[in-house]
Each structure stands twice: as structure tokens, then as C-alpha cells.
Amino acid sequence: MTSSLIRPAVDLELIFPAFNEERRLPSTIEATVDHLSERSWASAIVVVDNDSADGTHDVVERFARSPVPVYAIGCSDHGKGAAVRRGISTSSARYVGFADADCATPIETLDPVMALLAEGHAAVIASRRAPGASYEIEQSALRRCGGWIFRRLARMSLPDIADTQCGFKFFSGPLIREVVGGCHVDGFAFDVEILTRLARHGHRVTEVPVAWCDVPGSTFSARRDGLRSMADLIRISIAR
């Protein structure tokens, strides 16, 4: 395991923002290493420990001999958005993106994503609502209702994107490092802020279908995070 903010340049860096993910992270990293080690891209995995209170940071030590480098860096600013920006801003990779620690999006989705990036697409995101997508395990009724409200508000800024919240998004490295420098949303609406800034600067966001599974253990709390996310979406829609 290497812990460093300065990392060698690679073709792809995959960021896992992690808050108290000691239990779910090991299997996710293992599956990701297995997949990346069989691909031609030079790759690295970066776990951004978002001030966890468990053994999240220590998990990475298990991969000291990994054929794909696995790094751990810290982020004391709370929020998934802050953790993702920390990983992106410290990357020098040609392509960089992030995935959720629960592996709800199959890592195999990375293959069509990388093919599109190599063709010159600026941003490629997994979508649960693009043609051909499916829910292998459905969300609860409460989360589906909250998701519907969130999508309606997100469309004020991104009317052409069907799914802004699937946690699997990848970008041209130089472009996204420039974009996140002007982003400020730390909470769960951070994806919308990033995609909105890309769209407003004329960059196309490409959606690819995914066979997605709802995995228990999300850190999102409707009571704690719901209203804040809605307020962030309104601010994003009126910002210029």
C-alpha cells in the first residue's frame, strides 16, 4: 500500500470515496484489481478516506502486493463531493473517475466507458435509465420516491441527462481537473454540479446503460441529507 497525494501518471485512475467502508471495501477493491489487471490500460485505484471512524484506511494495506497500485489518501472535509474532488484534483491520469464502494455498478461497465473516452468523449457516466439499462435489485419505495423528486429538480440544470446519480462517472483527466476547481457542493448533489459545469461549457455527457443493484448500507440519510440536496440542486440551477 502506498499513501501519497503525488502519484505516477497512468491511463486511468479509479477513485473510491469512502466513509466507514471497512466491511464493503475489500471485496470491491479485489474485484476491481482483478478486472483492471486484465486490461491493457495502466491503472491505479485511489481510496479517499473521508474522515472515517472505522478501519477504512487500513483496508488498503491488504493490497500492498497488488498488480494494480492501490493508494489511500485522506479528506477531512466531510461529504462525498469533497472526497471525489480530493481524488480528482490530486490525479495526473489521462482519464479519471469514481465509483461507489458498494460495487452497485458492475466493474465490467468500465469497458464500454473506456472505449468511449478513448474515442474522445469528455464525460461518460453509467445510467440506470438509458435504453438497455436494468435494475437487478430494486430500491425501496421510499428511496424511489426520493429519487423521483431529486431527478425532477436535477432536470432544471440537466434536462438531457436521464440519470445523474448513478455512482459511476469517468472523465477526460485534464478537463475534469479544471472543472472541479470551480465546484463547491460537498453533499450528494455534487454529481449534478460537475455535470452542469461540463454541459454549460459545451461538453457532451454520454450515458451508458448499466445492470444496477441496490446494495444495503448507503450513507445517504433522507432526514439528514434530503433537504440539503434539494437546496443544493436549486442553487446549481440558478448559478452561472
| Nearest alpha carbon to residue 195 among 146, 226, 159, 234 | 159
Q: How many CA within 13 A on the CB side of residue 227?
A: 2
Nearest to 231 by CA among 187, 175, 195: 187
Give residue for cell 474532488: 85
| β partners of residue 126 | 208
Q: What is the pLDDT of residue 219?
A: 60
Q: What is d(CA 181, CA 179) in angstroms, rounded to the nearest whole number?
A: 5
Q: Which helix (H) or strand (E) holds 231?
A: helix 222-238
Condensed to tens digits (0 to 9), the pLDDT of residues 53-97 reads: 999 989 999 999 999 999 999 998 999 999 999 999 999 999 999
Q: How far is CA 121 from CA 89, 158, 193, 205, 209, in A?
A: 20, 18, 19, 8, 16
pLDDT tens per residue across span 103-134: 889 999 999 999 999 999 999 999 998 888 87
Q: What are phi and psi of 81, to 5 degrees?
A: -60, -40
In the chain, count H helices and then E strands: 8, 9
pTM here is 0.88
Q: How many CA atoms lie within 13 Å of 158's alpha carbon, on the beta-carbon side?
A: 26
* Region 168-193 average pLDDT: 96
Distance CA 59, CA 54 (A): 10
Query: For position 1, what pLDDT does the model report?
Result: 44
How many angstroms separate the CA atoms of 26 and 57, rounded?
A: 11
Lowest mean pLDDT among 115-129, 131-145, 158-172: 131-145
CB 109 within 8 A of CB 86: no
